[in-house]
Homo-oligomer: A and B are copies of this chain.
Amino acid sequence: MIRVMLVDDHPVVREGLRSLLDAEPDIEVVGECGDAASAAATAAATRPDLVLMDLRMPGRDGVAATADVLAACSTRVVVLTTYDHDGDVLRAVEAGASGYLLKDTPRAGLVEGVRAAARGETVLAPAAAATLAGAVRRPAPPTLTPREHDVLRAVARGLSNPEIARELRIGEATVKSHLLRVFEKLQVSDRTAAVTAAIARGILPTPRL
């Protein structure tokens, strides 16, 4: 019997997974949890063989929750999310996820994925597999320093270099230095492309109204 625990902030999704998995003779849902913060505690209490983890939750820390769960008890974590944001796949696997499935997987694929992960296999959706393959080909995951981050965030708000310099209490020359290094790291040549590239890679959050 494979003991599964669900972490997802959407009751509808938990309900769907539960009915789908409980219909299988060899799978049992032993717990569920609606937020990332209490995932580790729930896992420690229910000691599942496998945790199905949503990535996007209030506080948006499915990745952190994955790390917490793995630190709290010996189990496997399979990420089950809606979109295949490339950045998410990388961060999830870095955090120790044993699999990355999308919610539009047909039910047979989901069930088989759960069994495969419980057997110890790493189960990846095709898009996620492609992303990981691409990531190892390119051994340069662009990591920005805190200051570079600050400058880029300000740029995304539409501030000019002099304005950024005032806001961060540094010289305009310094702003330019940081920005040039950001361009280099993101492989772009102007501030606007830097912002979109950063959003695409999850370095900056998707802007909201």
Residue A45 lies at the interface, judged by CB distance under 8 Å to chain B: no
A188 to B87, alpha carbons, bound, how many Å? Answer: 29
Closest B residue by C-beta to A183: B158
Nearest CB of chain B from residue A154's CB, rounded to whole Å: 10
Binds B, one of A11-19, A118-126, A169-177: A11-19
A59 to B171, alpha carbons, bound, how many Å? Answer: 46
A170 to B105, alpha carbons, bound, how many Å? Answer: 45
Docked complex: A76-120 residues within 8 A CB-CB of B = 82, 85-87, 103-107, 110
**A12 near B110: Cβ-Cβ < 8 Å:** yes
Contact size range, A = 35 or more
Which of A10, A19, A188 is most buried by chain B, counting CB atoms within 10 A of its CB? A10
A196 to B193, alpha carbons, bound, how many Å? Answer: 11
**B10 near A104: Cβ-Cβ < 8 Å:** yes
CB neighbours of A58 from chain B (8 A): 104
Nearest CB of chain B from residue A163's CB, rounded to whole Å: 10
Picked from B197, B200, B207, the residue with its CB within 8 Å of the CB of A196 is B207
CB neighbours of A149 from chain B (8 A): none
Closest B residue by C-beta to A200: B207
Can you list 7 A-B pairs, Cβ within 8 angstroms, ordered by A?
A12-B17, A12-B105, A16-B17, A82-B82, A87-B209, A156-B192, A158-B188
The chain A residues found within 8 Å of chain B, CB to CB, are 9-17, 19-20, 56, 58, 82, 85-87, 103-107, 110, 131, 155-158, 160, 188-197, 199-201, 206-209
